[in-house]
Amino acid sequence: MTDTTQILRILDIMRDLRDPETGCPWDIEQTFTSIAPYTIEEAYEVADAIENGDMASLKDELGDLLLQVIFHAQMADEGGHFNFFDVAAAISDKMKRRHPHVFGNLEGASPNAVKSNWEDIKARERAEKSANQASENEETSLLDDVPAALPGLSRAVKLQRRAARVGFDWSQEAPIFAKLDEEIEELRREMRSQSADKARLEDELGDVLFVIANLARHLGVDPEAAIRSTNSKFTSRFKWMEKNADLDKLSLAEMEQQWEQAKSQSR
């Protein structure tokens, strides 16, 4: 089969799965909302395969993610909104528009200049979108199209980055650390409060995490990648402890000794 035939094949398969009379009952009853969590899950499984350096798994997981795109496109086609080829055309147009140094007349662009130009083009696109919404009497904001479904820390970084475009940002790390100390102290006060409740604790802890996301952004570190790395490190060390000791029979102090040994092994 040709490459094009393979694309048409999976489109036909999804169309058959959604056929109201002969399709799969589970696939037929799905909606954009019910499928969205699977789409997010598949994206994380792609990231996991990349982090593990597993190319065989990456091929499979990319296929699963592609299926999610095709699933959404099929449902949109059924509703008369757009189809898979419209999706492909839209992203092709966007890529050519956002790479004038490749497809246009912009020359001699460095990686940093490319990134800056990319953000400028995105800002112009958002401005045009906002103007169209304003013409329809809709209120607009610089933060409007930051997806609410993003992981919390990733969304915090994107919100902060948008605000920074109009100067609402610290220029150095020192005031961020000061703000972090302030938010941690507020959390401690709430923990000591006689009237502390889960909602207030959640609010104060959220403030701490928001500042940590801001610090990560200033350091040029992806906070989601950082916590995934730490989760992996914790998992590896804890499994070493399980392998080398009966944790149920150890005191906390003894388990901490095991933990230190696990750290030494990992180094």
The top-level CATH class assigned to 152-266 is: mainly alpha
Provide the pLDDT for residue 98.
86
| pLDDT value of residue 2 | 79
How much is the pLDDT for 99? 86
Residue 141 has φ and ψ, to the nearest 5°, of: -145, 155
Averaged over 152-179, what is the pLDDT? 92
Q: Which two tokens stand for residue 252?
A: 């906390």
| Residue/partner pairs of 143-152 with CB below 8 Å, 24 or more apart | 149/36, 149/40, 151/224, 152/209
CB 213 within 8 A of CB 153: yes
CATH of the domain spanning 3-97: 1.10.287.1080
pLDDT at 139 over 70: no
User: What is the mean predicted confidence (pLDDT) over 86-100?
Assistant: 92
The pLDDT, as a whole number, for residue 146 is 85
pTM score, two decimals? 0.65
Q: Could you give the angle at the alpha carbon of 53 between the alpha carbons of 51 and 54, nearest 5°?
A: 115
Structure-block tokens of residue 53: 């350096």
The domains spanning 3-97 and 152-266 adopt the same CATH topology? yes
- DSSP string of 171-198? SSSHHHHHHHHHHHHHHHHHHH-TT--H
Write the DSSP symbol of residue 247.
G
Q: What is the mean pLDDT of the chain?
A: 89
Please state, in angstroms and rounded to a whole number, the distance separating the CA atoms of residues 237 and 244: 11
Taken as a whole, the chain contains a residue count of: 267
End-to-end CA distance of the chain: 49
Asked whether the predicted pLDDT for residue 181 surpasses 90, the reply is yes
CB-CB neighbours of 213 under 10 Å: 21
Kind and range of the H or E element at 218?
helix 198-219
What's 119's DSSP letter? H
Specify the pLDDT at position 159. Answer: 94
pLDDT at 195 over 70: yes
Domain boundaries, the chain: 3-97, 152-266
pLDDT at 54 over 90: yes
